[in-house]
Amino acid sequence: MLVVQKFGGTSVADPGRIARVAARIKGAVQDGHRVVVVVSAMGDTTDELLALAREVTRNPSPREIDMLMATGEQVSIALLTMALQAKDCDAISLTGAQAGITTDGIHTKGRIVDIDTARLRSELDRGRVVVVAGFQGVTPDGEITTLGRGGSDTTAVALAAALGAEVCEIYTDVDGVYTADPRLVPEARKLDVISHDEMLELASLGAVVLHPRAVELAKLYGVPLVVRSSFNDGPGTLIKEVGDLEKAAVVSGVAHDVNIAKISLFDVEDRPGIASRIFRELARSNINVDMIIQGAMRDGRNDIAFTVSRDDLSRALEAVHRIQGLVGAKGITFNDTLAKVSIVGAGMVSYPGVAATMFEGLAEAGINIAMISTSEIKVSCVISREEIERAVRALHMKFNLGEAPAGGPA
Ligand code: ADP
Ligand code: ASP
Ligand code: MG
């Protein structure tokens, strides 16, 4: 059978680990599988490249950022392929472009729009392991674009879908998906199974163990997706369609995101068209806006506040300053010392009081809430970044997430 295996940065952080990954891949080949491998850049390479760019200029252009970041994955595909060849395992490395991955033109936030699998299939037919650079693709005009931080997961699922692979395995530095980030919450529990919808929420709300778009594609194309450790043989976590809402946990996990910033516009005019002007201008700059709050109107004026990714803060501020006059805002401020904590659970919708329990949990920990947003399967609160670890732990405890749900598997 055909399998896609993706190895994250920590799993290929040094030559020793690259050799271990190569041995694992060779094992899959010896078991009779055809294997496509996706790798991330080694260790913290992507962060280091970004830091380097910022030493050159405070405001590097997104195109050149992509050009720079894409080199990280090119290093790891070459080294891993050499390690495979050294083990007498026939293999070839391919960049995103060589693997036929076409992306749209949004630099640093590209989306895969098409995969031409001809080259991949011909290499597989020659009995080779194909090692593809994650996180990158090329536009029809030949421009390299990357898929957003953590985007190698998405490359792997997209390849699995395009090739009709039996399974997409995401190998990482934890044993699977946990009820909260195990680095913050030692008592977090590994989940054996999680639904696409819950995983999508967790991933979108900051659980970096999977890239949100990877979960979306797995759901859309019915790709069986597993998160496993690259350091042991544990079964990991299966992400799949779980239909029965009745059985769903009220709260299945806590996610956190320290990469957010809030922008506030004061005293904007209270008339039709104001919000559309503000958010159209942000959309034009390809900035995703998360939470939005419009305060109570007084004297014909409103306050509007919203959150964006911290990476987008300076461009978002430029955008709102451009339209400040048009919307009559008397002031613009920002806060980049915030974080967001969220609870996720498909069963929440049928239990009133879940949000209240969350606010209680934060109150008991003496944590102040700056913004709130809810949906059928999540509640999010913006709080001070300094308090994020305490908040995640307090909520994990409040909802007893360390204990297996009654009747469920341990
Ligand atoms: P990789 O380099 O393999 O892609 P990442 O650092 O992107 O690895 O993702 C794995 C990390 O995700 C873990 O080390 C863990 O700290 C973090 N993480 C956050 N939330 C969760 C969660 N709910 N379950 C498991 N890991 C999580
Ligand atoms: N190397 C990229 C990053 O650090 C992509 C990935 O690891 O998935 O974001
Ligand atoms: Mg990752």
Rounded mean pLDDT, 254-274: 95
pLDDT higher than 70, residue 407: no
Return d(Cα 45, Cα 255) in angstroms, integer.
Answer: 25
Name which of 248, 150, 206 is nearest 338 in CA terms.
206
Question: pLDDT band at 398, cuts 50/70/90?
Answer: very high
Percentage of the residues of the chain whose pLDDT score is greater than 90: 92
**361 among annotated binding-site residues:** no
133: β partners:
39
Q: Is the CB of 148 under 6 A from ligand 2?
A: no
**221 among annotated binding-site residues:** no
DSSP string, 231-249: SS----EEEE----GGGS-
**8 among annotated binding-site residues:** yes
| pLDDT per residue as tens digits for the range 205-259 | 999 999 999 999 999 999 999 999 999 999 999 999 877 655 678 999 999 999 9
| pLDDT per residue as tens digits for the range 32-85 | 999 999 999 999 999 999 999 999 998 899 999 999 999 999 999 999 999 999
- pLDDT score of 51: 97
Distance 168 CA to ligand 2 centre (A): 17
**73 among annotated binding-site residues:** yes
Q: Which residues contact 51 (CB under 8 A, 6 or more apart)?
A: none
Q: Is the CB of 72 under 6 A from ligand 2?
A: yes
Question: pLDDT band at 29, cuts 50/70/90?
Answer: very high
Of the ligands numbered here, which is closest to the C-alpha atom of 227? 1
Question: pLDDT band at 370, cuts 50/70/90?
Answer: very high
Q: Is the CB of 382 under 6 A from ligand 1?
A: no
Q: Is the CB of 149 under 6 A from ligand 2?
A: yes
Rounded mean pLDDT, 390-403: 97
pLDDT higher than 60, residue 177: yes
Rounded mean pLDDT, 131-160: 98
Distance 293 CA to ligand 1 centre (A): 30
- In a 13 Å sphere around the CA of 156, the CA atoms on its Cβ side amount to 31
- pLDDT score of 352: 86
User: pTM (2 decimals)?
Assistant: 0.94
Percentage of the residues of the chain whose pLDDT score is greater than 70: 98
- pLDDT score of 408: 46
Two tokens, residue 298: 């007084």
Rounded mean pLDDT, 124-145: 98
Return d(Cα 92, Cα 109) in angstroms, integer.
Answer: 27
**178 among annotated binding-site residues:** yes
Q: Is the CB of 41 under 6 A from ligand 1?
A: no
Of the ligands numbered here, which is closest to the C-alpha atom of 146? 2
Q: Is the CB of 9 under 6 A from ligand 1?
A: yes
Two tokens, residue 144: 């390299």
Pick the CATH number of 2-173 from 3.40.1160.10, 3.40.710.10, 3.50.50.60, 1.20.58.220: 3.40.1160.10
Distance of CA 344 to the CA centre of its chain: 16
Q: Is the CB of 100 under 6 A from ligand 2?
A: no
Of the ligands numbered here, which is closest to the C-alpha atom of 8? 1
- pLDDT score of 44: 98
- Ramachandran angles phi, psi of 175, nearest 5°: -80, -5
Q: Is the CB of 73 under 6 A from ligand 1?
A: no
Q: Which of the listed residues 12, 20, 174 should we mutate to test ligand 1's pocket, taking the one with most ligand atoms within 8 A of CB? A: 174
Return d(Cα 367, Cα 398) in angstroms, integer.
Answer: 14
- Ramachandran angles phi, psi of 227, nearest 5°: -105, 125
Return d(Cα 393, Cα 405) in angstroms, integer.
Answer: 18
Q: Which CATH superfamily is domain 254-398 in?
A: VC0802-like (3.30.2130.10)
Q: Is the CB of 208 under 6 A from ligand 1?
A: yes
Q: Is the CB of 46 under 6 A from ligand 2?
A: yes
Of the ligands numbered here, which is closest to the C-alpha atom of 206? 1
pLDDT higher than 70, residue 301: yes
Distance 93 CA to ligand 2 centre (A): 18
- pLDDT score of 25: 98
The residues spanned by each domain of the chain are 2-173, 254-398
DSSP string, 287-301: PPEEEEEEPPPBTTE
**104 among annotated binding-site residues:** no
Question: pLDDT band at 410, cuts 50/70/90?
Answer: very low
How many other C-beta atoms can be found within 10 angstroms of the C-beta atom of residue 71? 15
Question: pLDDT band at 324, cuts 50/70/90?
Answer: very high
Of the two residues 400 and 350, the one the predictor is more confident about is: 400
**219 among annotated binding-site residues:** no
Scored b (16 or more CB within 10 A) or e, 246-258 reads eebbbbbbbbbbe
Of the ligands numbered here, which is closest to the C-alpha atom of 10? 1
Q: Is the CB of 54 under 6 A from ligand 1?
A: no
Residue labelled with tokens 């509007």:
304
Distance 35 CA to ligand 2 centre (A): 21
Helix and strand counts by DSSP (H, E) for the chain: 11, 18
pLDDT higher than 70, residue 28: yes
